[in-house]
Structure 1
Amino acid sequence: MTTNGSAASDPEIIAHRGFSGRYPESTHGSYQAAIAYAEEHDLELGLECDVHFSADDQLICLHDLDLDRTSDVTGPAFARTVDELRQVDFGSWFMPDPRPQDRMITTLVELLDMIAAARNRGVRITLNLETKHPNPRGLEVEDRVAELLTERGWAGADSPIRVITFFPDALVKLREVLPQLRRTFLISDLSRAGDGVLPDGVWIVGPDLERVREDPDWVGRMIAAGNQVHVWTVNTPADVRFCLDLGVTGFTTDFPDVVAETLSREGSDIPQYAPRVVSEDSRPGTTHRRY
């Protein structure tokens, strides 16, 4: 067991598939909106994406392996090239009259370009990059991620990228190909880390909020074992306060504005700003969503 996570840590806000509570998830518009929010408020913000392959060997940012839920077509995403996916509308399921950027799927290369451009102008943006499993090409995803990050000089200990996954075999592969990057073990079953011992080299665990509600003391056991706990998906002020009281230090959310404003009001050590007042009634639904 490592204890790298035992030191106190400022809360981390992680924008789940971009600003996905207000824009169509994983689109250019969703990631651009999250970056713009961080820039406007001088906020350190992590983005989150899920990656797997398109038919033409590019890594795309898309939670589902198929297109049914978040687009105007059906079928597997991996059966289409990126050019073909550009013809698909990924926005209208979520909002009326989406802008062009709200319809457009993002490739991992494009997202890394957005992050690099933002960081070059001083925006404190990082990325939680989930390798999606199962997928038709297995651990080739991790190999390609390593290639892309190494090409950019983002494979070292100072990288703005953290790699995350639910799959232990992927964690082993990531340790092999990206040994200096931080890794998070995502879980939807608390028993997978019930004794506080995580896979080798991992000291951040990412549980489902709904499972944490069932056993709140589990968080304390993880922290006592030297780990950090980053919970998904935390979308309401009440959920932020619940997690803070348990010692959670990472908040994956569809609404980074809600989490940032709540942490600010609670006096957590994040950049302070005048909260933008948004009535609860005016917000889109803040229901829990799967990682």
Structure 2
Amino acid sequence: MRAATTSPALLPAPAYLAASAPARRGWPLGFAHRGAGNERENTLAAFTAAWEAGFGYLELDVRTTSDGVLVVFHDATLDRVSTAAGDFSALAWADFAAHTVGGEPFLRFADLLAALPEARFNVDLKDADAAPAMAALLAEHDAWDRVLVASFHDSRRRAFRRAVAALGHPERAHGPERVATSGGAAAIAALVLLGPLGLTGWLRRYALDIDCVQVPLHQGRVPVVTADFVRRCHAAGLPVHVWVVDDPAEMERLLDLGVDGIMTDRADVLAEVFTRRGIWPQH
């Protein structure tokens, strides 16, 4: 059974974290990491398969092409997973038409929004230009409530919020209808190091301007996801999502700790664990 914890309630949660069916039921969320597609990661085929398997939340990465198109892709270079080579940012969108990822076409984020209109997306901004491009795209598609914006670089999260405000949507940047964001490396380090001093709530309210934390089990030799860390985050109104977890026993342990979401590359394993707990499918 899920351990009893303090519910995140210090500040009102944005719709991404509060309005979906799983969140309304109080369920922890399951995220398909890069679509949980393995050799065809971050492709429409991977995301569609994850959606059909029961995932309502899809984790992905975005980069901008040389002509400013927001494309779903993780690496700074193309060689590892695609038939192309070299730096991603050196190519224009039209250049990607001749290449594939795991036999699948490259995917624009705008096309993913249209293809899965009921899905919610956890989006990692992989370059600086992605922040204003994402703000413009969310405004164009009125997709504010469908996206949580993340980045290892806290500067990109702040740049995204500035870009949203500059578009004339201050309520979406910082107000009650804001777009959900999670903390980057600096924010997480502050929560891990200063949280035990009783500063988690102060950090969340006055310093970090985030809506959840998305963290690994460990950072080097330092454990991150402990019972105390989860308790402190919940008391401060911060849901805790953990990445990337593929082992079923570890998933069970984390759920017992009271985490609010698990990201996985093993869609089948997470679906089986969540099914046993009666919290699947998630749309």
Question: Aligned in 2, Cα 1:192/1:63: closer, same or farther, shift over 3 Å?
Answer: farther
Aligned to 2:90: 79
C-alpha RMSD of the superposition: 2.7
Q: Counterpart of 1:284?
A: none
Partners of 1:65 and 1:83 in 2: how far apart? 18
2 CA distance for matches of 1:270 and 1:35?
A: 12
- Structure 2, unmatched stretches of 5+, are 1-8, 165-171
Larger RCO (CA within 8 A; separation ≥ 6): 2
How many Å apart are 1:11 and its aligned residue? 0.9
1:214 aligns with 2:223: yes
Q: 1:115 & 1:201 partners in 2: Cα distance?
A: 29
Q: What is aligned with 2:36?
A: 19
Quote the offset at 1:260 in angstroms. 2.1
- Of 121, 125, 144, the residue aligned with 1:127 is 121
1:237 and 2:248 correspond: yes
> How many residues are treated as equivalent by the alignment?
240
Query: Following TM superposition, by how much is the alpha carbon of 1:72 offset from its aligned partner in structure 2, in angstroms?
Result: 3.0
Q: Partner amino acid for 1:75?
A: G
**Structure ranking higher in helix proportion:** 2
Aligned counterparts of 2:245 and 2:62: Cα–Cα separation in 1: 22
Match for residue 262 of structure 2 among 237, 251, 254: 251
SS in 2 for 1:86: helix
Indicate how the Cα distance of structure 1 residues 233 and 168 shifts in structure 2: closer, same or farther if over 3 A, else same: same
Q: Among residues 50, 60, 66, which one is paired with 1:49 in the alignment?
A: 60
The answer on 1:144 being equivalent to 2:133 is yes
Unaligned runs of 5+ in 1: 39-43, 92-101, 120-124, 273-291
- For the 8 Å contact 1:188–1:207, the answer to whether it is kept is no
With the length of structure 2 as denominator, give the TM-score of the two structures.
Answer: 0.75
- Paired residues of 1:188 and 1:208 also in contact (CA < 8 A): no
Deviations 1:260-288 (A, max 9, x none): 210221x254449xxxxxxxxxxxxxxxx
Which of 188, 210, 224 is 2:235 aligned to? 224
Once residues 215 and 236 of structure 2 are traced to their aligned partners in structure 1, the CA distance between those partners, rounded to angstroms, is 15
Q: Within 5 Å, which residues of 2 pair with 1:83-162?
A: 83-91=94-102, 102-116=103-117, 119=118, 125-132=119-126, 135=127, 138=128, 140-155=129-144, 159-162=145-148
Quick one: which amino acid aligns to residue 19 of structure 1? Answer: A
Q: 1:149 to 1:10 in 2, by over 3 A?
A: same
Q: How far apart are 1:127 and its partner, in Å? A: 0.8
Q: CA 1:19 to 1:82, structure 2 compared with 1: closer, same or farther past 3 Å?
A: same
Amino acid at match of 1:20: G
TM-score by length of 1: 0.73
1:205 match = 213
Residue 192 (1) aligns with residue 190 (2): yes
Aligned residues with identical type, % of pairs: 28
